[in-house]
Structures are given as C-alpha cells and as structure tokens.
Amino acid sequence: MFEVKECPCGSGSTYDACCGRFHRGAEQAATAPELMRSRYAAYAVGDLDYVFRTWHPRTRPDDPKPQSGTTWTALEIVDVLDGGPDDTEGVVEFRAHFTSPAGAEVLHERSTFERRAGRWVYVTAL
C-alpha cells in the first residue's frame, strides 16, 4: 500500500498536496507565508534546487549548501506582515526547529519576501 506522508511544513496536509506541488513546479506560491513554508519543506526534504530558484538573485548564494547532520523537525509561523496575494512585499517571522550534532536547536528569523516577475522570492533575514 502507498504511504501518504505529512508535509514537513506542518500544515497537516500531505506533502504532495501541500509543498510538493511547488517543489515539482506544478504551482507557484500565492503568498509569502506559503513560500516560507515551501522553502522550509524544501530544506527538510533536501530539495536545494527549489531553495535556489526561490531566492532573490541579488541575495542568493552561488550554491546553497546542505547542513550536514541537520534534521528539520518543525516549523512555527510567529507573525506575518503583508505578503498576501495582492502584495508586492512581505515579512514572515518563524521558528524552525531542527536537530544537529549539537542537539535540538531553533532558528528564529524574520524573513523578507518580494514579488518578482509575478513570483514570490525570499530576499533576506532582518
């Protein structure tokens, strides 16, 4: 029997119905929070090509590197400022929980997003 896995972003939906559709290019994120969730899920499943494609060309590294020994375990969206379907900019504050060789850790960040050529992209952390 086929196993249905929950999306790593914590939405409660299956990966295929949630962030998987963005990762495979079937759809584009309609909001900054949706892009934030899909980027987190991309890190969790190791899809760094998606991370690269959704990073603003002005601020992205030449080649995003995986964090060796890191397992992403949970995402909390703390606050959202703009970033809706009709906005051009947005800010998403989040806590990304993960384990590393050092133990359980949390990345707490306020990320800026921008709509570029009709698509949301991650710009930078505040």
Q: How sure is the predictor about 2, in pLDDT bands with cuts at 50, 70 and 90? A: very low
Tens of pLDDT, residue by residue over 44-97, are: 999 999 999 999 999 999 888 878 899 999 999 999 999 999 999 999 999 999
What confidence score (pLDDT) does residue 1 get? 41
| Domain with residues 20-125, CATH architecture | Roll (3.10)
Query: Are the C-beta atoms of 90 and 29 separated by less than 8 Å?
Result: no
Residue closest to 114 by CA, chosen among 38, 64, 48, 59: 59
Q: How do the domains of the chain map onto residue ranges?
A: 20-125
Would you say the C-alpha torsion 7, 11, 12, 18 has a positive or negative sign? negative
**How many angstroms separate the CA atoms of 20 and 108, rounded?**
24
Tens of pLDDT, residue by residue over 28-45, are: 999 999 999 999 999 999
**How many angstroms separate the CA atoms of 42 and 20, rounded?**
9
Residue 17 burial by CB count (10 A; 0-12/13-18/19+): exposed, middle or buried? exposed
Query: What's the N-to-C CA distance of the chain in angstroms?
Result: 45
